[in-house]
Amino acid sequence: MVAGRSSKPEHIDLIGIVDDDQRVLNGLQQLLESVGYDVLSFRSANGLLASEVIDSITCVITDIGMPEVNGFELREILNRERPLVPVILITGRYELIENLPQESGMIILRKPFDSSALLSAISKCLGNAMPNCG
């Protein structure tokens, strides 16, 4: 560590993770907390949208293939209601993104993805460099 420089960021970003797979939620939460982010996990898009802390969330990571409200729909809702909050889409169902046109600014990671790829995507979205980002 460089003298005079903290390993924790001065401003702690709050990341919302939405996935219907509890194992994915647990793994992502542990990863993000280990590099200094505050994290809230939700098993559904509706859980995130109904959360009392939604206005404090600075970035959302969401699975695409979920029941009720899928990741694309959640992204559309957030783009309307909270346009400054970046959304990172993740999926293990490649058929959902096969024929997707390249949209400027849309970040999609295919499961399983490397943790450094996710951390890099978050840093890019938030416009800051977190410790341990590749």
Q: Is residue 7 part of a domain?
A: no
Q: Is residue 58 part of a domain?
A: yes
Would the pLDDT of 42 be above 70? yes
pLDDT band for position 5 (cuts 50, 70, 90): very low
pLDDT band at residue 2 under the 50/70/90 scheme: very low
38: its two tokens: 């505050």
Number of domains composing the chain: 1
pTM: 0.82
Task: Give the CATH number, domain containing residue 71.
Answer: 3.40.50.2300
pLDDT average, residue stretch 15-37: 96
Q: What whole-number distance in Å separates Cα of residue 77 and Cα of residue 98?
A: 23
Nearest to 91 by CA among 14, 19, 41: 19
Q: Give a yes or no: residue 131 inside a domain.
A: no
Q: To the nearest whole number, what is the mean pLDDT of the chain? A: 83
Does 71 reside within a domain? yes
Strand partners, 17: 41, 61
- Residue 23 belongs to what domain range? 14-95+104-126
